[in-house]
C-alpha cells in the first residue's frame, strides 16, 4: 500500500488535540495548519537534491538545492484550504491549483464544479491536500484531473484517512503516495470517518 503514516510525536500530539469534541474554530484551524506543515515535511522528504556552486562569504562553495521539478499544491475545496498556509510555509514558491467537486445526484460520482490549474503540470510535482480521506471519491477525481492535464508525479496529504478511501485511491492510482497522520477505523453510514474529526470543513470555517 502506498501510504505513509507519519508517527512523529508532534504529529500524533496535534492530531489528538484535533479530536477533542468541543474544540474551537480558532484552535482547529491553527492545529490544521501546524499538522499540514509537519505532514508536508514528510511528503517532501524524497525530493531530489543537486549540488551547485555559489559565492559564499569566504569564497566559492558548493551547496545543495532542490532539483528539477517545481511544486503545485492542490487544495480540494473547501476543507483543503485549511491546510494550504501550513504547506506553503515549507514550500513558499509553490504555485497553487484549486479543485472544487460536487456530487452528481444521478451517478453519485464527484464532478468538478471548479478547477484552475497552473501551467506545465507535466513538469511539476502535485501535492493534493484535503484533511479527510473518507470514501476517496474526491481524491480519485482530483488525481484523474491532474493526470489528464499531464501531471505525472502526484502526492496526497491528508490528516486522517479511512481504510475504504485508502483502498479506493490505491486501486485507481497505485502510483500516488498518500501521507496521513492516522489510518482510522472505518466510515459510518453517513460517510464520516470513525473516530475521525467530525466535519473538518465546518470546523475550519466555523459553519455548521
Ligand atoms: N469529511 C469530513 O470532513 N469528515 C469526515 O469524517 C469525512 C469526510
Predicted model pTM: 0.96
What whole-number distance in Å separates Cα of residue 124 and Cα of residue 72? 6
Of 21, 200, 201, 203, the residue with max ligand 1 atoms within 8 A of its CB, to mutate for a pocket test, comes to 200
Residue-wise pLDDT tens digits, 181-208: 999 999 999 999 999 999 999 999 999 8
Annotated binding residue at 130? Answer: yes
| Predicted pLDDT at 82 | 98
What whole-number distance in Å separates Cα of residue 155 and Cα of residue 186? 22
What whole-number distance in Å separates Cα of residue 177 and Cα of residue 128? 10
C-beta of 200 in contact with ligand 1 (< 6 A): yes
What whole-number distance in Å separates Cα of residue 76 and Cα of residue 148? 17
pLDDT bracket for residue 103 (50, 70, 90) = confident
List the grid coordinates of 104: 452528481
Region 164-173: mean pLDDT is 98
Out of 3-7, 64-68, 88-92, pick the least confident. Answer: 64-68
C-beta of 137 in contact with ligand 1 (< 6 A): no
Count up the domains in the chain and report the number.
1
131 and 159 Cβ atoms separated by less than 8 Å: yes
What whole-number distance in Å separates Cα of residue 201 and Cα of residue 208? 9
What whole-number distance in Å separates Cα of residue 59 and Cα of residue 98? 43
| Predicted pLDDT at 80 | 98
ipTM: 0.96
C-beta of 158 in contact with ligand 1 (< 6 A): no
pLDDT bracket for residue 120 (50, 70, 90) = very high
What whole-number distance in Å separates Cα of residue 16 and Cα of residue 28? 11
| Predicted pLDDT at 1 | 67
State the CATH number of the domain containing residue 127: 3.40.50.2020
Q: What angle separates helix 81-90 from helix 25-43, to the nearest 10 degrees?
A: 50
Domain residue limits at 137: 3-205
Amino acid at each position: 500500500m502506498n501510504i505513509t503514516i507519519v508517527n512523529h510525536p508532534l504529529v500524533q500530539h496535534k492530531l489528538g488535540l484535533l479530536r477533542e469534541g468541543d474544540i474551537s474554530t480558532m484552535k482547529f484551524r491553527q492545529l490544521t495548519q501546524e499538522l499540514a506543515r509537519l505532514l508536508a515535511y514528510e511528503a517532501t522528504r524524497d525530493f531530489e537534491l543537486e549540488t551547485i556552486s555559489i559565492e559564499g562569504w569566504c569564497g566559492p562553495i558548493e551547496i545543495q538545492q532542490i532539483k528539477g521539478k517545481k511544486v503545485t499544491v492542490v487544495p480540494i475545496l473547501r476543507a483543503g484550504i485549511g491546510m494550504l498556509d501550513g504547506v506553503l510555509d515549507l514550500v513558499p514558491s509553490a504555485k497553487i491549483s484549486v479543485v472544487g467537486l460536487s456530487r452528481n445526484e444521478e451517478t453519485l460520482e464527484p464532478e468538478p464544479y471548479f478547477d484552475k490549474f497552473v501551467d506545465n503540470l507535466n513538469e511539476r510535482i502535485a501535492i493534493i491536500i484535503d484533511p479527510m480521506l473518507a470514501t476517496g471519491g474526491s481524491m480519485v477525481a482530483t488525481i484523474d484531473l491532474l493526470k489528464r492535464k499531464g501531471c505525472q508525479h502526484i502526492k496526497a496529504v491528508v490528516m486522517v484517512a479511512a481504510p475504504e478511501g485508502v483502498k479506493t485511491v490505491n486501486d485507481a492510482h497505485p502510483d500516488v503516495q498518500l501521507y496521513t497522520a492516522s489510518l482510522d477505523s472505518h466510515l459510518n453510514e453517513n460517510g464520516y470517518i470513525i473516530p475521525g474529526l467530525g466535519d473538518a470543513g465546518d470546523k475550519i470555517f466555523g459553519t455548521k
